[in-house]
Amino acid sequence: MLSLNVNWLAILVSAVANMMIGATWYGVLAKPWLEGIGKTREWANENQRPTDYIIAFVNSLLMAFFLANVMAWTNASGFSAGITMGFFMWLGFNGFSFAANHAFEGRSLKLWAVNAGIYLVGLMVMGVILGLWL
């Protein structure tokens, strides 16, 4: 059963960490990402909206909250369990979902790696943070 009795500080720290990873990830991989979506850096600079970051932060909070619940249900705690749980959540819910979307949209494998990779790293880091604090 879904529980609100979770470590909210760990969830907040996980969400902030995920946002920091995202900023670094897309900062480093901006060129292949922009090429993959057919946009320019100028477009990206001109089209940054506060609502995009709010949506991304809410997404990070929700991912951390649900990951914390799954980890609690399975009694997963510690570094190894956290990184493993993050990997399997990505594998089951993000990695191949993105692959299907990218395939039907005719997008490249490189773009899939950029877009899905951030969730792989983010979920594994959030899993570690939550695993160490649960």
pTM: 0.93
44: helix, strand or coil: helix
Phi and psi at 5, nearest 5°, equal: -85, 70
- The crossing angle, in degrees rounded to 10, of helices 96-105 and 109-133 is 160
By the 8 A CB rule, do 107 and 124 touch? no
- Give the tens place of pLDDT for each residue, 2-54: 889 999 999 999 999 999 999 999 999 999 999 999 999 999 888 889 999 99
The answer to whether residue 134 scores a pLDDT higher than 90 is no
pLDDT in tens, 92-131: 999 999 999 999 999 999 999 999 999 999 999 999 999 9
DSSP category for residue 38 = T
Tell me which amino acid residue 56 is: A
